[in-house]
Structure formats: structure tokens, C-alpha cells
Amino acid sequence: MATKNIKPSLADILFPEARDQQDFAEGILSVPPEQRKLHTETYDFTVGTVVEKLVDQSIFIPHFQRRYVWTDPQASRLIESLIIQCPVPVIYLNQEGNETLSVIDGNQRLTSIKRFLQNEFTLKGLTAYPELEGSRYFELDPRFQRHIQNRTLRCIVILKDTHPQVKFDVFERLNSGATKLTPQELRHGLYFGDLMSLAATVVKENDLLSFLEIKHDKRMKSEELVLRFWALSEDFDSYRKPLSIFINDFAERNRVLSPERKASLKSSFSDVITGVKNLLGPLSFRIFDLDMRVESTFNSALYDALMIGISMLQRKNAVKEISMRDAQQALANLVEKDEKFRKSISIATSDDTQVRYRVDAIVNLFKK
């Protein structure tokens, strides 16, 4: 039987975000009904107060936010809107555990206002008050300065007692930039702490980008792969789809780590990735046929199966002693002849039954 190509569906190609959106919806339904409510408070902060809070970091721009991209003319028009009392869109903030507020939506606006009040650019491209063209903040008449400082910005704060998954869903709904953030980029900001920093360190120490032939990992895919291994390996028996939400729960529980816990997580990943490399070498996590012709350079479902399966075997010291060539042939044979395994790494890959089947198949394939 010829090996069937495992390709994404046409819908996945044309609408690549559809599955992520389905995961978000399923994630909300996994939260008890009484906890699905969004807890918010509304504040009208003056511009002066907001800038003070940005300076002392009681309001801050989190890591997942895209960098500042507005031009000076764009920022100038915002300042002009403040002067003519044109309404400014609502700013959305997230209340952190330490009572600071992270910016969910409004980074470009807040950064522009702060830059102007700190005299970092001159006003350009004004239409209502061209007389102010070329002025920095300190050059404006004090009455204009006070007027700008006293303008209010409507801020909606999502309170910390909101369920984390509800917050994640809201972040995704507000994620409307030209380049939408990936679930891992959102996760990195929402749960930033020891775990996210450790994942980035583990990627570097294990040279994961080179091994997976990822030239530029601007969307944090490699860090997500580390997190999904940790989440699945530590609580595999309790796994329930969607996978994205399962990883979120793990990230929430492990935001703060002790030195011992960090060391344990680091070694768990490095031990398993080394074990997989020893078995399959350069063909690790790839789909290939019995002639070693590669059909897919990386398959994330196969990654799960190999990493979790080998991890289980290592804990019992039960990995079969086998040559790399024989291991590669065994895996190619499994993909070609086991239709259920093929489906488990290509269709509805986050379903509980699919995840368990492919992991069990790898365990049986490589156990002593």
C-alpha cells in the first residue's frame, strides 16, 4: 500500500484560523456557567494620570503586544483629537495579580500620548489646528498643555477574579490588529512569568530551532511545542480537548516556579528530545515513506506522540534498543499500514481519543 500524503484540508488552507476559533469557543464551554461572566470596572482616567501610571509601570505594555508602529503624523492626529475633544476609543486593561494593569487594547494610542507628553516628537499633519504644526509638548501654551492633561480616557479594566479562560477568549476577541496574534503570543502575555521564560531558555539550550529547521520563530511556535510537551507529559491521563485550553490551564498553574521545579522541567524536555533524536535522527517528527522520502517536514501531532510516548518509556527504562535505521523503518511502516494512526496525526488531532491512540501506538512500537 502506498503511503498517503497527509495534507491540511482545503478549509485549513483557506481559513487557517478557524480551528483556533473553535478551540476558543470550546474552551469557554469548558468553564462552569457561573464562571463565564466577565468581571469589569470602568474608569475615566485623565491623560495626565495615565501617563504617570505608564511611567511608574502601574500600567504597562505586556510582552505579547506588538511593537509601537505608529508614525508621528498618526500620533499627531491623536493629540489633535484630544485638543478638539474628539472621542478616543476605549482602552482595555487587564488587572494583574499584583494590582498593576496590563494593556490589552490601546498600546499604540497610549504610547503615542506618552511620547508626546515626554517631548519625543513634534506635531505633524494637523488639519484642525495647523497653527500648532511643528510644536513639541513643552512648546505649547500652558493652557493647551492643561487641556490635554485633563482630557479623560475611558478605560475598561478586566478584573483579576475573571476566569483565566474567559480572559483568554476576550483577548482573542480584541486581537484585531493587521497581524493577529497566535494563541501562544496571547498565552505568553497573559501568563507571562517563570514558565514562559523557562520555555524560551529550553528552546535555546536544546537548539530546537535548528533541529526543527525553523529559521525565524517570530510567532513563538517552538516555545508552544515545549509547553505542550510539559502539559501533556505531566497530566496526560486528564487530557481533554481543546489542546490550546489544556496548555493554558497548565500555564496558569505554573506561572511561578521554584528553582527545583525549573530544573525538573528543563531536564524532562532535554532527556526526551535527546531520546527521540537517538531513535530517529534527522527524521524525527517528520512524515516519510519506507524509502525515507519526506512528505511532511514537521507534524505537530506526531511530535506529541513521540515526545509523550518516549517520555513514558524512559520513566520505566523501557525504550527498545534499536538502530536508527530500524526505528525509522518501524515508524514509516506504522504510518503506512495503520490507518487509525494515520488519521490520529492528520484529522481532528486534538480529540482525546486521537491523542491517546497515537501515543499508545508509539509506546507499543518502541517499548522493550
Please report which confidence band the pLDDT of residue 82 belongs to, taking 50, 70 and 90 as the band edges. Answer: very high
Q: Which of 114-123, 210-219, 276-285 has the lowest average pLDDT?
A: 210-219
- C-alpha distances (whole Å) from 246 to each of 44, 94, 174, 234, 242 are 36, 22, 22, 11, 6
Give the model confidence (pLDDT) of 164-182 as tens digits. Answer: 777 777 777 776 555 566 7
Does residue 13 surpass a pLDDT of 50? Answer: no
The percent of residues in the chain predicted with pLDDT above 90, rounded, is 61
Does residue 9 surpass a pLDDT of 70? Answer: no
Please name the residue that has the C-alpha cell 503570543: 185
Amino acid 333: pLDDT: 95
Alpha helices in the chain (DSSP H): 10-14, 18-29, 47-55, 72-83, 107-117, 142-150, 164-174, 183-190, 194-205, 208-211, 221-234, 243-253, 259-280, 300-315, 324-337, 339-344, 352-366
Amino acid 15: pLDDT: 44
Give the model confidence (pLDDT) of 302-329 as tens digits. Answer: 999 999 999 999 999 999 999 999 999 9
Q: Residue 3 CB: number of other CB atoms within 10 A?
A: 18
Give the model confidence (pLDDT) of 257-271 as tens digits. Answer: 999 999 999 999 999
pTM of the model: 0.66
Instruction: Tell me how far apart the alpha carbons of residues 358 and 291 are, in angstroms, rounded to a whole number.
Output: 22
Residue 195 contacts residue 257 (beta carbons within 8 Å): yes
CB contact burial 53-82 (16+ within 10 A = b; e otherwise): bbeeeebbbbebbeeeebebeebbbbbbeb
* Grid cell in block for residue 14: 483557506
Which strands form 101-105's sheet, in the order they lie side by side?
40-46, 152-158, 91-95, 101-105, 59-60
Residue 269 contacts residue 203 (beta carbons within 8 Å): no
Helix axes 221-234, 183-190, angle to 10 degrees: 70
Q: Which of 24-38, 190-204, 283-297 has the lowest average pLDDT?
A: 24-38
Instruction: Tell me how far apart the alpha carbons of residues 66 and 62 are, in angstroms, rounded to a whole number.
Output: 9
Amino acid 250: pLDDT: 94
Spell out the domains of the chain, with CATH numbers in brackets: 10-34+178-366 (no CATH), 39-158 (3.90.1530)
The amino acid at 132: L
Give the model confidence (pLDDT) of 185-206 as tens digits. Answer: 778 777 778 999 999 999 999 9
Q: CB under 8 Å, gap of 24 or more: what pairs does 319-324 form?
A: 319/275, 319/279, 319/366, 319/367, 319/368, 320/366, 320/367, 320/368, 321/368, 322/279, 322/366, 324/278, 324/279, 324/280, 324/281
Three-state DSSP state, 30: coil
Dihedral (CA of 23, 26, 31, 33) sign: positive
Amino acid 17: pLDDT: 45
Q: Which residues contact 142 (CB under 8 A, 6 or more apart)?
A: none
DSSP 61-115: --TTSPPP---HHHHHHHHHHHHTT---PPEEEEE-TTS-EEEEE-HHHHHHHHH
Phi, psi (5° rounding) for residue 44? -110, 95
